[in-house]
């Protein structure tokens, strides 16, 4: 145990993180098993040991920020969990049709009562756009409006929303721009609540996989769904979008991205938060869309996800007593670790947030970027 503790302390030397230190980002260890578990199990054990209460930290977001800023995870990357995910991604296909509904059941169907308390008033579960605004509601409305303006959305136009969530974009586009929106999701809970929220508007919800979409549309959007597609399916995904997009239409892809090409996600995120997903790289997106689309605009506002996640956590923390009995302490620690660790990763610029505007043949005369 002492050797494991010494090894962990040595790994932390250059990160300005101390064991049982006095700063908000220092790790306070309650159970000595923490050291051996993390040394053997890497990020999976790190998250699980927090869920078990083996350690605490006043500012998990700042802790994770320092870990990513010093590339600490690369020192413990070859763990059994990482190897298993790599082999599963290379040999199999976690994004295949047969597993399409798992993410809906395990994450998005966890409970509308949770998301109603955590998210903005429109239930937008993607990164806000914080330019010229200081609150979550304003940031999310600005993001939805940004998407509509990038599309050049006009009254009466049809939009396919792949991964529509509870219909935040669909409702906004219908109310503010007079669009007719078809939303596709794999979450039963999202369809049920979304239909109520969009009642009376020209918005249709479909509980189905993106590979089963029918019809053609003036525009296509996908906000925060591409992270669930997985690299082996990227080419097919872009082909499907192209097939359902009119010749003069635009496709806006809004996705978290990675600066490094990979085949799978973090083991803890895969097991507890987003199963079967991964973050795409620029190279992977570029290869998948080659000869299918013209890239008109690529906008990175990943730093805004830090603010968004911290706002979600503030809401979650504030309203937790209202739902605590339904979820329990282990879920609380899991969800807290999820939100704050993700905030730290965006703060360190480990992860990015991209909005990519694509056309089938190139916009005549050129596309004017919108910010």
Which residues participate in catalysis according to the annotation? 342
By residue count, the chain amounts to 371
CB atoms within 10 A of CB 265: 22
What does the alpha-carbon distance between residue 308 and residue 127 come to, in Å, rounded to a whole number?
6
Place of tokens 């790289």: 281
Handedness of CA 184, 244, 122, 200 (dihedral sign): negative
**What DSSP string runs through 312-346?**
HHHHHHHHHHHHHHHH-HHHHHHHHHHHHHHHHHH
Nearest residue to 228 (alpha-carbon basis) of 276, 186, 187: 276
Nearest 5 degrees, angle CA 95-CA 100-CA 103? 95
What does the alpha-carbon distance between residue 4 and residue 36 come to, in Å, rounded to a whole number?
5
What does the alpha-carbon distance between residue 255 and residue 265 come to, in Å, rounded to a whole number?
14
Q: 370 with 150: CB under 8 angstroms?
A: yes
Q: For residue 195, how many C-alpha atoms fall within 13 Å in the half-sphere facing its CB?
A: 11
Strands of 245-258's sheet in order across: 203-207, 180-185, 158-162, 217-223, 245-258, 351-359, 294-300
Q: 39 with 8: CB under 8 angstroms?
A: yes
CB atoms within 10 A of CB 26: 20
Nearest residue to 231 (alpha-carbon basis) of 194, 281, 164: 281
Q: 280 with 224: CB under 8 angstroms?
A: no
């Amino acid at each position: 145990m002492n050797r494991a503790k010494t090894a962990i302390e040595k790994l932390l030397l250059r990160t300005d993180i101390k064991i049982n230190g006095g700063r908000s980002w220092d790790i306070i260890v309650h159970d000595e098993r923490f050291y051996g578990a993390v040394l053997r199990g890497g990020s999976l054990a790190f998250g699980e040991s927090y869920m078990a209460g083996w350690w605490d930290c006043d500012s998990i977001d700042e802790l994770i920020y320092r870990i990513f800023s010093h590339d600490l995870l690369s020192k413990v990357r070859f763990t059994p969990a990482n190897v298993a995910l790599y082999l599963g991604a290379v040999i199999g296909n976690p994004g295949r049709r047969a597993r399409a509904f798992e993410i809906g059941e395990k994450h998005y169907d966890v409970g509308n009562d949770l998301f109603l308390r955590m998210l903005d008033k429109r239930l937008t579960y993607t990164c806000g756009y914080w330019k010229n605004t200081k609150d979550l509601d304003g940031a999310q409305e600005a993001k939805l409006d940004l998407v509509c303006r990038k599309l050049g959305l006009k009254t009466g136009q049809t939009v396919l929303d792949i991964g529509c969530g509870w219909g935040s974009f669909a409702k906004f586009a219908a109310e503010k721009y007079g669009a007719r929106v078809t939303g596709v999701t794999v979450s039963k809970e999202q369809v049920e609540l979304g239909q109520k929220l969009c009642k009376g508007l020209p918005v249709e919800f479909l509980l189905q996989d993106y590979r089963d979409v029918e019809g053609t549309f003036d525009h296509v959007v996908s906000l925060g769904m591409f992270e669930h597609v997985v690299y082996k399916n990227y080419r097919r995904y872009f082909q499907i979008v192209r097939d359902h997009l009119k010749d003069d239409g635009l496709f806006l892809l809004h996705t978290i991205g990675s600066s490094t090409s990979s085949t799978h996600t973090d083991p803890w995120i895969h097991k507890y938060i987003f199963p079967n997903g991964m973050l795409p790289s620029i190279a992977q997106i570029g290869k998948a869309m080659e000869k299918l689309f013209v890239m008109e605009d690529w906008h990175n506002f990943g730093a805004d996800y830090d603010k968004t996640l911290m706002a979600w956590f503030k809401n979650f923390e504030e309203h937790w007593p209202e739902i605590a009995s339904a979820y329990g302490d282990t879920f609380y620690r899991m969800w807290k670790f999820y939100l704050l660790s993700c905030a730290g990763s965006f703060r360190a610029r480990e992860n990015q947030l991209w909005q990519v505007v694509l056309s089938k043949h190139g916009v005549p005369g050129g596309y004017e970027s919108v910010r």
